[in-house]
Structures are given as C-alpha cells and as structure tokens.
Structure 1
C-alpha cells in the first residue's frame, strides 16, 4: 500500500498544474474512490492542511498518508507529490529560460490558466458541498434552502469580506470561525 500511495501522489504531483488548490479535486478522487477516506474525512484534512504552515499540497499529502497508513504513509505520499516537481524543474529549467519569449510557450501558459481556475472552482465547490449544507451531498430531501447551514454560509461570507476588504490574516479568520462555532454549540445552536 505504501508503493500505491507513493505512486498516486507522484501522479498527482506530475499531472497537477496551478498549485495545491488545483490538486484538491484530483487528490479527492484518488483517495475517496479507493475508500481510504470518506468525503467528510477528506474535507477535514483539507481544512487541517489549509490552517497549517506550508504548501497545501504537501500538507495534504502528509496528512492523507498519515491517515491511511501512518508515519511511513506520510513520508511516501509527501515524497510522491514533491518528486515530480523537483525532477521537472531540473529537466526543463534550461529550456524554459532559453525559449522564454517563444509564442508557443506563452500560448501554453495562457491556455492553462482557465483550466487552473476551473480546478480551483471545482475544489471550492467540493468544500462548499461538504461544509455549507446540513446533510451530506446526495441525501437532500425537500426544499433546497432547508438543507443550507446558514451559520456556515454566514461565516464563509464574513471570511470573504474579511480577506478581500479588510485584508485580515487567514489564521485569524480560522480562529474566529472556530470560536463562533464553539460558542454556538454552547448556546445550543
């Protein structure tokens, strides 16, 4: 299973462009489809990886590896997700700088940008689906609005305003969001 975990994260590291958030849908598909984690468990790992220091892709690989196998799983997954980048950078650095202004290279990068946006939006959709609704996806019954966790929606909207308008630090917002939820639990909401 360690070799399988390494190869999965190697593939994720090799075929994911656009940074860690763009990797989330691919990691989710690989891990949840194998039954190593539930969608909810994966969403929790995304949250933990987001609030810990370091790149989210490496943090996620480390947490998923640890959750599935333990210490050696975290080492295998982390090495797997990092190794393709290291190898590719070593291989293409000379070519990249030699042909920096070539139209094909520029076209490739401009063409990949919308795909990266789509991957990030897909990750955001997954997180919204598992975080902003009272019931799990696929279990909805009745009115859509009755399925919404309005407290979570409010916290999410306040987070967007806090970051975009007031430039608040994400760690502060994570702490405030957690404190709001804890406080509401104590008052029975």
Structure 2
C-alpha cells in the first residue's frame, strides 16, 4: 500500500479514537510503532519529551514528525491533517445536533461515560512512558539480574522531580528546564 495512504489511515484512526487530546493519542502511537518501521518506542519517548516542551499537542507534533520522516513535507502535512480531520468532522456534526439534545439524559450520560475511558487511555500512556524511562528491560533480558531492570539515574531524577513538584509550587517550565539540564549532565 502507498506510504501516504498508510500514513493517512493510521493517523486518521488515531485522531478518530483518541478522545481526550494529546496524551490519549499515545496508545495509538505505541501501536503504530509496533506495526511499522517509521519509529520505535525509544524515539516515541524522545518525541513525547520534545512535544511536551514545544507548543502544540503531542499527537499533532508526533504526526507531523512521523509524516515528515516517512514521507517528507507532503507526509508531514498529510499525517497532521489526518489526525485533526476526524475532530473537525465530529465537532461540526456535534455542533449541529448538540443544541437540540443538550438536556437529553442519554447525551449527558454518554459524556459522563467518556471521562473514565479518557482517564484510562491517559493512565496507560503514562505507564508506557514510565516503563520506557525508568525501566530497562533490554538489559534485564541480557543479564537476568534484577538490579539491571531499573535505570538508577532516571529513577533518582523522577523521584526528585516528583518530590519538588509536590513539596513546592514549582512552575512547569522550571521543571522542564531543570530536567533538561540534569539529563544533559547525566548523559555526559
């Protein structure tokens, strides 16, 4: 199948079913990483970090990146449009009908039922990010030593930032900047 058609279909599906925004796209992006050679889970973890520190939602940034890397400028535009298009279509349809059914119990119940589903998608994505950044299963598979499963530097950074975030009223940009500095120090 043509790469542009695949990009469009995969990111359209992601946009259609990832209700709740950027973080809700992550399970779909992990699925794409497993299905195609466009990017792997490690690149996805890096892109999550980049997407969180740049303007725009994770899904849009990731669609643009993957589309560009896979199919050039046309691929980047196509993947981005494909991700956004379902939301635009759905919003137009809902806007037409929602005013008529705004007080309907079924409509209210449907929105109430979507909240836990979105929470589960975001929690799943958070768990996947935690697995990639804190745990190193590749080393464990090679050595079978339980100590090798935990990335000590990442765990210390995670625990420190979690403590600072909970203890002090720290601005998110300060945490991001501090994390980047510590990451650079740990790398070298």
RMSD of Structure 2 on Structure 1 (CA)? 2.1
Larger helix proportion of the pair: 2
Q: 1:179 to 1:110 in 2, by over 3 A?
A: same
Aligned residue for 2:138, secondary structure, equals: coil
Question: Paired residue for 1:139?
Answer: 141
Question: Paired residue for 2:66?
Answer: 64
Question: Paired residue for 1:120?
Answer: 122
Q: 1:93 to 1:152 in 2, by over 3 A?
A: same
Aligned residue for 1:168, secondary structure, equals: coil
Question: Paired residue for 2:173?
Answer: 171
What is the CA-CA distance between 1:143 and the residue it aligns to?
Answer: 4.3
Range with greater deviation from structure 2 (37-46 or 160-169): 160-169
| Equivalent pairs, count | 186
Q: TM-score, normalised by structure 2?
A: 0.88
Aligned residue for 1:139, secondary structure, equals: helix
What is the CA-CA distance between 1:121 and the residue it aligns to?
Answer: 1.1
Unaligned runs of 5+ in 1: none
Query: Contact 1:58 / 1:81 at 8 angstroms: preserved in 2?
Result: yes
What is the alpha-carbon distance in structure 1 between the residues aligned to residue 146 and residue 46 of structure 2? 24
Query: Contact 2:139 / 2:148 at 8 angstroms: preserved in 1?
Result: no
Question: Paired residue for 1:152?
Answer: 154
Query: Contact 1:9 / 1:61 at 8 angstroms: preserved in 2?
Result: yes
Q: 1:102 to 1:161 in 2, by over 3 A?
A: farther
Q: 1:128 to 1:17 in 2, by over 3 A?
A: same
1:39-96 C-alpha deviation (Å, 9 max, x unpaired): 1122212221121111222111111212222221110110000111111111111211
Q: 1:5 to 1:167 in 2, by over 3 A?
A: farther
Aligned residue for 1:69, secondary structure, equals: helix
Q: Give the alignment of 1:1-189 within 5 angstroms.
A: 1-136=3-138, 139=141, 141-186=143-188
Q: 1:98 to 1:132 in 2, by over 3 A?
A: same
1:78-123 C-alpha deviation (Å, 9 max, x unpaired): 0000111111111111211221221111111111211111111111
Unaligned runs of 5+ in 2: none
Q: 1:99 to 1:60 in 2, by over 3 A?
A: same
What is the CA-CA distance between 1:132 and the residue it aligns to?
Answer: 0.7
